[in-house]
Each structure stands twice: as C-alpha cells, then as structure tokens.
Amino acid sequence: MFEIEAALAQNARDVDAVLGSLLPASDDREARLMEAVRYSTLSGGKRIRPFLVRSSADLFGVSHGLALRVAAAIEMIHSYSLIHDDLPAMDNDDLRRGMPTCHVKFDEATAILAGDALIARAFEVLAEPATHADPRVRADLVVEVARASGGEGMVGGQMLDLLAAQWKLEIAEITRLQRLKTGALIAVSCEAGAILGKAADSHRHALRAYAHDLGLAFQIADDLLDVEGSAEETGKRTHKDESAGKATFVSILGPERARAQSHMLAHQAIQHLEPFSAQAEPLRALALFVVTRRY
C-alpha cells in the first residue's frame, strides 16, 4: 500500500530545499523583504500543490528536477495568497502554520511587498530556460498559472469570498467560489505535470477532472476542520467561518452530509484517474488523505 503521509513528508523536504535555493536570503539593505518571503514560504505546510505537480509529472516521465521547479513556483503563488489573505484588510489572521502571520511578524507593508515579490519570482521561475528546454512549454505554464491565480481564478475567488459575507450564498454559488478561490490553483498544479510532459489532451483533461473533484473535497474537509478542529491541530485559528457568519458547505449541509459529500468527491476524483493505472497511486492516495486528514 502507498504510504501517503511518508510521501508527503518526503515531498515537503524536497520542495523546501528547492524553495530555499530559489528564494535566497539577501544581504542588501532591503534584506527584510527576502526575510519575510522566506519566513512565510519556508514555514512548513502540507505542500499539496507541489505534490500534485510532481505526481502528475511522474505519469509522463518528466525529469524530477524540472517538476520540482514548477512545483516550487506554484507553491510560491500559494504562499503569496496566504500572506495577502491574512492581512488585516482581508481575513485579519494572526496565526498560520502555528506561527505569527507575516504582517504580525514583520509589518503590513513588508507583508504586502513579500507577496508581490513572490508572484514575480514564481513567473520568473516558470519562464526560465532551466524549467524546460521547450520555450512553448514555459510560456504555456505561465499562461495557465496566471489564469488560475488571477482575477478569473484565485484572486477573483478571494474577492467573491470577501463580498459573500453580505449575501446568503447557496450551494451552487459556494461551489463556484471555491472552484475559483482554491480549485483553480489545485487544477493547474495537476495540469502542470501534463504540460511539462506534453501529455495528450485526453490525459490533460482527465487530470483536470480529478483536480476539480479533489479541490472541492479538500475545501469541504477544510470547512469541517474549521468547525471541528483546534488551533493546535491545524496551526491556524478555527471556528472562523461560523463567527464571520460565512455560508460554507458545512453550515448549509451540516457536518454529516458535508463529510459524506467530501468522501463521494474523493472517490469520484479517483475514478477520473482510470486511464493511468498503477502509476497514479500517489494521486489516488492523496484524494483519500485530503478527506481524512486532521490538519
């Protein structure tokens, strides 16, 4: 049986090593910027998006070094989004991965700039020759990651999430919100492996379909952890959705039906991997992991 927790731990070590070298400390007078970038980006995390990039890339025999660079770039985008989302003007969070958030540890201006620097560095890494010999692949990666992270993806979802407090969202609208806010970057993580491996369209679409279900399953599990988990387990403040009066899958469906839904989605995600046989075992194991994790 595939040992998903051990594989995630090894993945996190690999990704941290690459992130550390792609985001070197600075000794210029503005060194505080890279300190903040490194503080927030190298502070742990499950590294699920990098795991998706690498596991998808493995399906197509992509070299590990190339996949790791893309994995790190996408994690930079994820990291920037957490820094900006935690800001006082946004979700106003003081705890992330068990540590003070970036603007608490440094200050707001530094946190805003650290996020901005991470975005630029992510696209720089994706487009550099070291990421793939074929510039078409690099340009394609930039386009897809930009779409997934921009106004019609992650940033659009965050805007919608901020506005949603005023509305009573229904399940279909929450689904759309989450598809934008977290789903798009999860989808492009899977797709990136296919792009790197110049996979057939059918394989690229199968991975997108897997990622789509996985992303929703992941989000419902996150909502459940917010209700049922503690700050010690999750490393972040819990019971936030409830106190913000936010409509979530759990607030609408109730915890039991929400949990059933997340398991159904995980199994549906696994079904999309049918074209890949045994090689996709890490992706299958991940789908089960995201709906049973306690952190």
160 binds a second copy (CB under 8 A): yes
Structure tokens at 109: 């201006």
96 binds a second copy (CB under 8 A): no
184/102 Cα distance (integer angstroms) = 24
94 binds a second copy (CB under 8 A): no
Is the distance from CB of 41 to CB of 23 less than 8 angstroms?
yes
Locate tokens 């197509």: which residue? Answer: 60
- For residues 186, 188, 194, 199, the Cα torsion angle rounded to the nearest 10 degrees is 130
Distances (CA, A) of 221 to 38, 45, 120, 179: 28, 16, 31, 14
Nearer to a second copy, 143 or 260 (CB): 143
Nearest partner of 52 among 191, 195, 201, 230, judged by Cα: 191
Is the distance from CB of 119 to CB of 143 less than 8 angstroms?
no
Contacts with a second copy, 233-252, as mask; x by CB under 8 A: --------------------
CA 156 to chain centroid: 15
Segment near a second copy (CB under 8 A); pick from 25-33, 59-67, 245-253, 280-288: 25-33
By CB under 8 A, name the one of 47, 49, 54, 84 that touches a second copy.
84
209 binds a second copy (CB under 8 A): no
Is the distance from CB of 72 to CB of 18 less than 8 angstroms?
yes
Locate tokens 């915890």: which residue? Answer: 255
By CB under 8 A, name the one of 4, 18, 34, 194 that touches a second copy.
34
By CB under 8 A, name the one of 12, 42, 66, 155 that touches a second copy.
155
78 binds a second copy (CB under 8 A): no
138 binds a second copy (CB under 8 A): yes
Q: Which residues are at the interface with a second copy (CB under 8 A)?
A: 26, 28-30, 32-34, 37, 80, 84, 87, 89-90, 107-110, 112-113, 115-117, 119-121, 123-124, 126-129, 134-136, 138-140, 142-143, 146-147, 149-151, 153, 155-160, 162-163, 167, 173, 180
